[in-house]
Chain A
Amino acid sequence: MVHSSHGFRVYKKRAHVLIAFGVIILPIVFILLIGRVSQVSSAALAIGLGLSLYRLLVAYIISLVAAIILAVLLGHGKVGDFFVPVFDLLQNLPSFALIPIFVLAFGYTNQMAILFATSSILWPILFSILSAFRTAKSDLNEAATVFGAVGAKRVFNYLIPLSFPAIITGSIVGISIGWEAIIGIEIIGLSNGIGAFLNSAAGVNKGTLIFGVVALLLLVFSINKLIWMPLLKKSQNYAE
Chain B
Amino acid sequence: MPNETVLKIEDLSYRVKEENRKDFEILKNISFDVGKGEFLSIVGPSGCGKSTLLRIISGLLKPTHGRLEINVKKMAMVFQNFAIFPWLTVSENIEFGLKMAGMPTKQRRMIVDEKVAEVGLAGFEKKLPKELSGGMRQRVGLARALAVSPELLLMDEPFSSLDTFTAQKLRTDLLNIWEKYGMTIVMVTHLIEEALQMSDRVVVVSKRPSSVKQIHEINLTRPRDMRSEHFFSFIDKISAEIEI
Do A and B pair up? The answer is: yes
Residues 47-99 of B contacting A (Cβ, < 8 Å):
55, 58, 60, 75-77, 79-81, 83-89, 91-92, 96-97, 99
- Could you say which residues of chain B place their CB within 8 Å of the CB of A3? 91-92, 109, 112, 125
Q: Is B81 touching A137 in the complex (CB atoms < 8 A)?
A: yes
Q: Main secondary structure on chain A at its contact with chain B?
A: helix
Cα distance A14–B79 in the bound complex, in angstroms: 41
Besides the contacts A137-B83, A143-B77, A149-B100, what 16 more A-B pairs have beta carbons closer than 8 Å?
A: A1-B112, A3-B92, A139-B79, A142-B55, A142-B58, A142-B77, A143-B83, A147-B97, A147-B148, A150-B100, A157-B96, A161-B87, A162-B87, A237-B86, A237-B128, A240-B86
B10 CB within 8 Å of chain A = no
Q: Is A142 touching B83 in the complex (CB atoms < 8 A)?
A: yes
- Could you say which residues of chain A place their CB within 8 Å of the CB of B75? 146
- Could you say which residues of chain A place their CB within 8 Å of the CB of B87? 161-162, 164, 237-238
Distance in angstroms from A233 CB to nearest chain B CB is: 14
A77 CB within 8 Å of chain B = no
Taking CB as reference atom, which chain B residue is nearest A153?
B100
Residue from B79, B92, B148 within 8 A of A143 (CB atoms): B79
Taking CB as reference atom, which chain A residue is nearest B89?
A6
Residues 104-138 of A contacting B (Cβ, < 8 Å):
137
A148 CB within 8 Å of chain B = yes
B139 CB within 8 Å of chain A = no
Cα distance A148–B96 in the bound complex, in angstroms: 9
Could you list which residues of chain A lie within 8 angstroms of chain B, going by C-beta atoms?
A: 1-3, 6, 137, 139-140, 142-150, 153, 157-158, 161-162, 164, 237-240
Q: Is A142 touching B144 in the complex (CB atoms < 8 A)?
A: no
Number of B interface residues at 8 Å Cβ cutoff, please give it. Answer: 34
Could you list which residues of chain B lie within 8 angstroms of chain A, going by C-beta atoms?
A: 55, 58, 60, 75-77, 79-81, 83-89, 91-92, 96-97, 99-101, 109, 112-113, 116, 125-126, 128-130, 144, 148
Cα distance A204–B56 in the bound complex, in angstroms: 74
Cα distance A238–B109 in the bound complex, in angstroms: 23
- Could you say which residues of chain B place their CB within 8 Å of the CB of A238? 86-87
Q: Is B84 touching A1 in the complex (CB atoms < 8 A)?
A: no
Taking CB as reference atom, which chain A residue is nearest B60?
A142
11 example contacts (A-B, Cβ-Cβ < 8 A) are as follows: A3-B91, A140-B85, A143-B77, A147-B148, A148-B97, A162-B87, A237-B87, A238-B86, A238-B87, A240-B86, A240-B129
Q: Is A148 touching B83 in the complex (CB atoms < 8 A)?
A: no
Residue from B92, B96, B109, B130 within 8 A of A147 (CB atoms): B96
Distance in angstroms from A171 CB to nearest chain B CB is: 17
Q: Is A142 touching B91 in the complex (CB atoms < 8 A)?
A: no
